[in-house]
Structure 1
Amino acid sequence: MRKKHIGQLCAITDTHIQSRFSHVELARLALQGGADIIQLRDKTLPTSELFCIAKEILTLCQALGGKLIINDRADIALAADADGVHLGQDDLPIAEARKLLGENKIIGATASTLALAKQAEFDGADYIGFGHIFPTSTKHKPEPPKGVLAISEIKKSLRIPVMAIGGIDYENIGEVMRAGADSAAVVSAICCAENPEAATQEIKKQIAEAIK
């Protein structure tokens, strides 16, 4: 199957670790700063509200040249006609999400081990969200950070892109990309920044420096 382009930087919107910016505002600022993908992530909003936010962000993505991925919710991705969905281990199986969304939509899958990553690839995921790479405070993680060497190891065994996640910011994203990550997902380094647009620009600058 043809690889789908996921870009180098995914900005994950979060209104729980900060309350200054809404999902839509964060999406706009990140896109203006150069984010390739916006991942809308909110596990508490009512479905109707999440759908409306998704539609707003999709309009922004279409205007500013980004893609919209919905975290967990294949139904919202389908209803909003988003570019895809990112699934965790407890979400809808990849094969079932593919039946819903079709071959042209992006399906990402969280995988914290090589075995899970290989299974997700076999099941039809378009990319792996792999981590956590560094210590992170946005999610409780019982296992220790993987570190950048784990990126190099997992890349050797997969044909689909690897999106690194977990504690990534402008200071360490260079080593993440040099280790072989195709992309990186960033949460607090953008959402909690004083200026999310400028923070996104700086992260993209560090990516460009790392891969040139």
Structure 2
Amino acid sequence: MNKSLALAHFQTSFQFITHQNERFSYLEGAYLALIGGCDWVQLRMKGATDEEVEPIARKLKLACEGAGATFILDDRVELVKKLQIDGVHLGKNDMPVDEARKLLGDEFIIGGTANTFDDIRRLHEQGADYIGCGPFRYTTTKEKLSPVLGIEGYHQIIEQMRENKISLPMVAIGGLTPDDIDPLADLGIGVAMSGTILNAENPVTMTRQIHDKCFGLFMENLNHYFENQ
């Protein structure tokens, strides 16, 4: 996956973050999301060893390549380099972005987790390519949650970014539903989901609906842009 191309439509890409439940394994959930049209997948297996993650990452890398989707691995910088995965997502307690950049170089995508504007400023200074900001609301798919932001929290953060002339692609994370897509899109923020997909009666159909809604908003914004030129 070309880094520039992946980031160019970052905020219009519906992102799926893997999780396992009583119905689906990490790999099964990701496959269903890809079948539904998801074009950005993050493999997140907190608590697993590299030996447990690597075989799953290898299979998912092939699946993402076949689907034309961007593949991001959570946390494991060395494994990203070894397997030549598209990029890595780094949590607040993971390796610093600038250190990861030294190991990976400029061709890999590096994203970071933020909960406050100060987090975003730090990630921007360290050279992050994108931000996963949240949680939007309470979620059971992640332990040790930072304070919940809600839509007002995102409004405040976006305003602070504008005031400080910081421009970074951003997706909201944490407890999102399809109803949250429009208000976040109005702020220029994309969405990443996990439980909404995996807990749906039909995960493929749910993924397709979310993907189509995100793409429709992208086309609508594109039309507005050209109309105002």
TM over 0.5: yes
Per-residue CA deviations over 1:24-54 (Å, capped at 9, x if unaligned) read: 2222211121212110011122211201111
Report what 1:47 is aligned to.
Answer: 50
Say if 2:9 is the partner of 1:12: no
Which residue of 28, 38, 57 corresponds with 1:25?
28
Shift, 1:144, TM fit: 4.1
- Unmatched 5+ stretches in structure 1: none
Q: How far is 1:143 from its partner?
A: 4.9
**Which residue among 200, 207, 210 is the counterpart of 2:207?**
200
Whether contact under 8 Å (2:138, 2:175) holds in the other structure is yes
Q: Deviations over 1:127-148 (max 9, x none)?
A: 0110111222222455542122
Contact 1:33 1:197 in 2 (8 A): yes
Structure 1 equivalent of residue 70 of structure 2: 67
The CA distance in 2 between the partners of 1:174 and 1:33, in whole Å, is: 20
Within-5 A mapping of 1:1-212: 4-5=7-8, 6=10, 7-15=12-20, 18-140=21-143, 143-156=146-159, 157=161, 158-181=166-189, 183-211=190-218, 212=220
Aligned mates of 2:214, 2:144 — CA distance in 1 = 26
Provide the rounded CA distance (Å) in 1 between the counterparts of 2:206 and 2:75: 26
Deviates more, 1:191-200 or 1:103-112: 191-200
What amino acid does structure 2 have at the position aligned with 1:10?
Q
Structure 1's 104 and 142: CA in aligned 2 closer, same or farther, altered over 3 A? closer
Question: Percent identity at matched positions?
Answer: 36
Give the alignment's TM-score, normalised by structure 2: 0.84
Q: Which SS does the other structure have where 2:92 is aligned?
A: coil
Normalised to the residue count of structure 1, the TM-score between the two structures is 0.90
Number of aligned residues: 208
Quote the offset at 1:80 in angstroms: 1.6
SS of residue matched to 1:109: strand
Contact map agreement 1:174 1:209 (CA 8 A) in 2:
no
Deviant stretches of 4+, over 6 Å: none
